[in-house]
Structure 1
Amino acid sequence: MPVLRFDNVSKQYAGGHVALSGVSFAVDAGEMLFVTGHSGAGKSTLLKLIQLAERPSRGTVLFAERNLAKVRGSRIAAHRRNIGVVYQNHQLLMDRSVGENVALPLVLRGMKRAETGKRVRSILDRLGLAARERALPSQLSAGEQQRVGIARAVIAEPALLIADEPTGNLDPALSSEIMALFAALPERGTSVLVASHDLGLVKRMRKRVLVLEQGQLTDDIAPEDLVDE
């Protein structure tokens, strides 16, 4: 069963700008894939529709076979708890420690403090951040901040992780490291959808690639069809 499905989805903004037009695709449980395209192709709009930060003008977005058009009010927050989000600019709480930032999704779910602490230490250890648990985000490098953002996004083991240009501010070595972390998530039950315009990185990952051009899905490339130029 797909974890996510877009069925002929279009999004037109009030000023008349068409961000997406007739987009259809599905993401299987335990799949990692990329969505790529030039700036303004519609990648960010697509991710916003998944989070219910935007609503489609036409078509249907299904998450675990539930029509997101029917998710309203207090159920929006419940939906978002099933999705981990990694931002390019981290969006960390600068007055909270690394450990407190990472714990936030579990605190919001009402998990007991002892269990929360155990999970936080486990994921920080996995991401090479065990020694930084009490540090403030301002004391971290860009790469460390990005890893904290990833830890926070995956700690609650969401059904789907979405990442918007997650390596945009990172050097190539760190970018590869972050992508390796993402690639390990599907075997733990989390599907991964990454928006990126770094074509070299995307090709090296050898994963399925959706190509957006001016709001239209122009290609859906299988891993075996990716060729190095």
Structure 2
Amino acid sequence: MPVLRFDNVSKLYSGGQQALSDVSFAVEAGEMLFVTGRSGAGKSTLLKLIHLAERASRGAVLFEERNLARVRGGGIAAHRRKIGVVYQNHQLLMDRSVSDNVALPLVLRGMKRVEIGKRVRSILDRLGLAARARALPSQLSAGEQQRVGIARAVIAEPVLLVADEPSGNLDPALSAEIMALLAALSERGTGVLVASHDLGLVKRMRKRVLVLDQGRLVDDIAPEDLIDE
């Protein structure tokens, strides 16, 4: 059963901009894939529909076979708890420590402090951040800040992780490191959907690629069909 499915999804903004037009695809549990396209192609809108920051104008977005059009009120927060989000600009709380930032999703769930501590230590160790647990985000490098963002996104063990240009501000070596971390998550069973305009990086990852052009899904490329430039 796909964890996520778009069935002929269109998004028309109130100003008349057609951000997506009849987009259909599915993401399996544990699958990692990329969505790429030029600026304005519809990548960010697609991610917003998954996270219920926006609603489809037509068609259906299904998460675990539930139509997100039917998710309202308190159900929105419950849905978002199943999805991890990694942002290009990290969106960390600058006055809180690395540990506090990573713990936030579990605090919001009301998890016991002892269990939160165990989980935070485990994920920070896994991402090579154990020594930075008490540091503030301003004391970290860009790569470390992005890893903190990933740790926060995955600590609650989401069914799906969506990442919007997660390596956009990083050099090639750090970009490769971040992508390797995301690929490792998919191998543990989390679906991973990454929006990126870095075609070279996308091709090197050898994962499925969805190509958007002016809101339309114009290609769905299997890993074996990717050709190096």
Q: TM-score, normalised by structure 2?
A: 0.99
Look up the equivalent residue of 1:188 and give its one-letter code: R
Q: Secondary structure at the match of 1:197?
A: coil
Aligned equivalents of 2:177, 2:126: Cα separation in 1: 12
Counterpart for residue 29 of structure 2: 29
Q: How far did 1:227 drift?
A: 0.3
1:51 aligns with 2:51: yes
1:131 aligns with 2:131: yes
Aligned length: 229
CA deviation digits over 1:170-217, x for unaligned, max 9? Answer: 000000000000001122221000000000000000000000000000
Aligned equivalents of 2:96, 2:73: Cα separation in 1: 29
Identity of aligned residues (%): 86
Q: How far did 1:109 drift?
A: 1.1
Q: Secondary structure at the match of 2:76?
A: helix
Counterpart for residue 71 of structure 2: 71
Aligned equivalents of 2:185, 2:129: Cα separation in 1: 18
Counterpart for residue 178 of structure 2: 178
Aligned equivalents of 1:191, 1:61: Cα separation in 2: 16
Counterpart for residue 92 of structure 1: 92
1:220 aligns with 2:220: yes
Q: How far did 1:114 drift?
A: 0.7
1:169 aligns with 2:199: no
Aligned equivalents of 1:142, 1:180: Cα separation in 2: 16
Structure 2, unaligned runs of 5 or more: none
Look up the equivalent residue of 1:140 and give its one-letter code: L
Look up the equivalent residue of 1:75 and give its one-letter code: G
Aligned equivalents of 1:180, 1:144: Cα separation in 2: 14
CA deviation digits over 1:2-48, x for unaligned, max 9? Answer: 00000000000011000000000000011000000000000000000
| Root-mean-square deviation (Å) | 0.5
Structure 1, unaligned runs of 5 or more: none
Look up the equivalent residue of 1:166 and give its one-letter code: P
Aligned equivalents of 1:56, 1:187: Cα separation in 2: 30
Aligned equivalents of 1:22, 1:207: Cα separation in 2: 23
Counterpart for residue 208 of structure 1: 208
CA deviation digits over 1:52-72, x for unaligned, max 9? Answer: 000011000000000000000
Look up the equivalent residue of 2:205 and give its one-letter code: M
Q: TM-score, normalised by structure 1?
A: 0.99
